[in-house]
Every structure is written in structure tokens, then in C-alpha cells.
């Protein structure tokens, strides 16, 4: 049988020797097709609709993916990691040794990138950053193809995208867990850091945040949002009721939160017996507030709207005078997810002892670390 094979190969070689280059290429191409194509599928035409979705893989795509208990557990887990690393000087034991997490960022970031890379390193894994210059989601290669290719080579994906539909598509075909590092509708890891920060601030003296339930420290606190109805507000509206917090918000007319997400947030508030109130006057939202939060009025991709947005948000700049004249509680605290711009909040608030923005920024690391540990090490929430 071997001699026969050699003889046929030799004949084929002689045939190629006495043909033109184009004919030889055609013969080689035909042989390749016959080798790689099965007769049963040669006449079948497939489309993306025929590609099966991957099931059974845990993801964190929206704030609705976490139950109240899972939310509290993640906050306490993040506090424990922080305590072990910064107070006790302990290592993680490198549970992700030999593992890789891809950071697929179509939008630039400082805090999310640094937080994720250091979190993966603490767990003993390798973080592979893929920015907009390295990988163009849905541009040169479809999101479906990107998801299947990248997830076949890594153990987890942190994705920072534009439209929320992009991360949904990535998750649909990914064989590894995906964490939403930001989409146009949600920013779940940011709100985890916000809640962790508040939990630390309101944990009673003599107690430790990692051994204290967030529902006991945060229940009945009132958070006031003054600004755009954006992804940060969406995530706050969905998560705060789960820990018993109330939320009041003020947005200019035309800049209200997404109607469907608002409807879901109202359902959450009703289930948990918390207040969710919407205003257009910042003073109404700030009344009786324990925590005051704002964010950029001009997100990435909205630069052309800057002039109109600045005009629309006139009177929304947070200052000590506005906050105190509006009747906020005497010990109010301030948060901002950064980067901050002067028109959003004055220096006398942003750099005051009432501001906890840098503690909040650091906690991005610990909450992201806790999420990665749950999804990649423990295999689910």
C-alpha cells in the first residue's frame, strides 16, 4: 500500500512538472479542497444564524445578573481581598497561575485597565491588553468571529465596548466568562466599587467590612444623583435597592435614564421597599441626601454634543453652597467615578474631606478582583 502511494505521488509530481504554473496551482487547489471538504457539506450554504450559541458559561453583563445575596457576597469578598493584601500582607496562592485574561477595550480607560491588570496579577494570572489599535471589535472581524477566536485561547474576557449589544454578542458565542467593563447601558463593576466604598465608610468602628453585611451598613441611606441619565445611573438604580438604599435623581429634560431600565429599577425598588424618585431640579434630588454622586456630562463619543450639553446642564454643577442650601444631611459624602471635569463639580467639593473619590477608584481593583475570582476560580456567582 505504501509503494502504491509513493507511485501515485510521483505521477502527480511529473504531471505538475509538465504543466504551466497556473495549471499546477489549480491542481494543488483542487487537491486541497478535496482534502478539507466533506462531500456531505460541499453543497450546503451556512449563515451566522446557523452558529449555535454557547450555553452554561457564567458572565457578568448587567447589574441584573446579581441577586441581592450575590451582590453582598461580592462586596464582602472584595473587602476580604483588600484586608488580606493590604493589612495582612498575604498572597492569593495564585489560583490563576498559567491562566490568561483578555482585556478587550474598544474605549480607553485608566482605572479599569490598571484595576484589572493588577487584579489578575494578584491572582497569579496573565492579563493580555487588547486596545482599539490591537483589535477592532466588529470592524475587520465580526464580533461572532472575535468571540470564538479569542475565547478559544484565553480563560476569561474583560470587555469595554460601545453598544451593549456588542457585549451580548461576545457573550453569546464565548466559551469563557465575560465581564462587562462598560457598555453604553451599564457599568456594573463601577457600582460594585461605589457600594464597597460606602460599605467601608459606614461600617461601625470596631467592626471589619469583610465580616459585616452590606445590608446592615447601607440600609435606608439615601443617594442623590445629579447629572446625565447614563450607564452609571442605570447601574445605580438597579443595584441600590438590593442593599436597601434609596435613590433620588435629577437630570435635565431630555437626558432622563433609559425608560426600560427605569421600569426594571422601579420594580426592584418596589420589591425591596425602597424609594426611587426622579426630578429635573437638582435641589429636589439633594434634599435629605446622605451620599451625592455625579459623573461626566459628556461621555466618550459625545464630544460633538459638548456645547449643547454644557448649556442643557446649566445649574447642575455641584458646589458646597448648592448641596447645603438644598438640605442635604449634615454628614453628606461625595463620590465620582472619574475622570472629573470642572463643570460637573467644584474643587471645594471634589477635594474636600467629604469626597471619597480616590478610595472609590482604588476599590475598582478589589471589586474586579472579586468578580474574576468568582467567575474564573469558583466558576460562578
Query: What phi and psi, each to the nearest 5 degrees, are found at residue 292?
Result: -120, 130
Distance of CA 98 to the CA centre of its chain: 24
Query: What sign does the dihedral 251-252-253-257 (CA atoms) show?
Result: negative
Residues 6+ apart with CB under 8 A from 157: 101, 102, 103, 104, 150, 151, 170, 174, 176, 177, 178, 179
Which one-letter DSSP state was computed for residue 242? G
Plot region of 339 (φ>0 → left; ψ -120 to 50 → alpha; else → beta)? beta
Choice among 61, 176, 196, 337 that is catalytic: 337
Query: What number of CA atoms fall less than 13 Å from residue 364's CA on the CB side?
Result: 24
Residues 6+ apart with CB under 8 A from 58: 177, 375, 379, 380, 381
Give the distance between the most distant pair of CA atoms in the chain: 97
Show the beta-strand stretches assigned E in 60-154. Answer: 100-105, 126-130
Rounded Cα–Cα distance for residues 106 and 251 (Å)? 28
For residue 346, count other CB atoms closer than 10 A to its CB: 16
Q: Which cell goes with 35?
A: 482534502
In this structure, are residues 177 and 59 in contact, taking their beta carbons and an 8 Å threshold?
yes
Burial of 37 (0-12, 13-18, 19+ CB in 10 A): exposed
* 337 classed as catalytic: yes
Residues 6+ apart with CB under 8 A from 314: none
Rounded Cα–Cα distance for residues 329 and 309 (Å)? 29
- Kindly list the catalytic residues: 337
Amino acid at each position: 500500500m505504501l509503494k502504491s502511494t509513493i507511485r501515485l505521488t510521483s505521477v502527480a509530481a511529473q504531471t505538475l512538472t509538465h504543466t504551466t504554473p497556473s495549471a499546477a496551482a489549480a491542481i494543488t487547489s483542487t487537491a486541497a479542497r478535496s482534502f478539507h471538504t466533506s462531500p456531505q457539506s460541499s453543497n450546503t450554504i451556512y449563515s451566522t444564524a446557523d452558529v449555535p450559541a454557547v450555553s452554561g458559561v457564567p458572565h457578568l453583563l448587567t447589574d441584573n445578573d446579581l441577586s441581592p445575596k450575590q451582590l453582598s457576597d461580592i462586596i464582602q469578598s472584595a473587602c476580604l481581598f483588600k484586608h488580606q493584601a493590604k493589612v495582612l500582607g498575604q498572597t492569593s496562592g495564585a489560583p490563576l497561575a498559567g491562566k490568561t485574561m483578555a482585556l478587550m477595550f474598544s474605549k480607553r480607560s485608566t482605572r479599569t485597565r490598571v484595576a484589572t491588570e493588577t487584579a489578575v496579577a494578584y491572582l497569579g494570572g496573565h492579563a493580555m491588553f487588547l486596545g482599539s489599535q490591537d483589535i477592532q471589535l466588529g470592524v475587520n472581524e465580526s464580533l461572532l468571529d472575535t468571540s470564538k477566536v479569542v475565547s478559544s485561547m484565553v480563560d476569561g474576557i474583560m470587555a469595554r465596548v460601545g453598544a451593549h449589544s456588542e457585549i451580548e454578542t461576545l457573550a453569546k458565542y464565548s466559551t469563557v466568562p465575560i465581564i462587562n467593563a462598560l457598555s453604553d447601558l451599564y457599568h456594573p463593576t463601577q457600582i460594585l466599587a461605589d457600594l464597597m466604598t460606602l460599605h467601608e465608610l459606614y461600617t461601625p468602628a470596631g467592626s471589619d467590612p469583610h465580616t459585616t453585611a452590606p445590608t446592615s451598613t447601607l440600609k435606608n441611606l439615601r443617594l442623590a444623583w445629579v447629572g446625565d441619565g447614563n450607564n452609571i445611573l442605570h447601574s445605580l438604580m438597579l443595584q441600590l435597592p438590593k442593599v436597601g438604599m434609596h435613590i433620588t435623581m435629577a437630570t435635565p429634560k431630555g437626558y432622563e435614564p433609559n425608560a426600560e431600565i427605569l421600569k426594571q429599577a422601579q420594580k426592584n425598588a418596589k420589591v425591596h421597599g425602597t424609594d426611587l424618585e426622579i426630578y429635573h431640579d437638582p435641589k429636589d434630588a439633594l434634599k435629605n441626601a446622605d451620599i451625592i454622586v455625579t459623573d461626566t456630562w459628556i461621555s466618550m463619543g459625545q464630544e460633538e454634543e459638548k456645547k449643547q450639553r454644557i448649556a442643557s446642564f446649566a445649574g447642575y454643577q455641584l458646589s458646597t453652597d448648592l448641596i447645603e442650601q438644598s438640605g442635604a444631611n449634615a454628614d453628606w459624602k461625595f463620590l465620582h467615578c472619574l475622570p472629573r471635569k470642572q463643570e460637573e463639580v467644584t474643587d471645594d467639593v471634589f477635594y474636600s474631606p467629604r469626597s471619597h473619590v480616590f478610595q472609590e477608584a482604588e476599590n475598582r481593583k478589589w471589586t474586579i478582583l472579586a468578580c474574576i475570582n468568582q467567575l474564573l476560580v469558583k466558576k460562578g456567582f
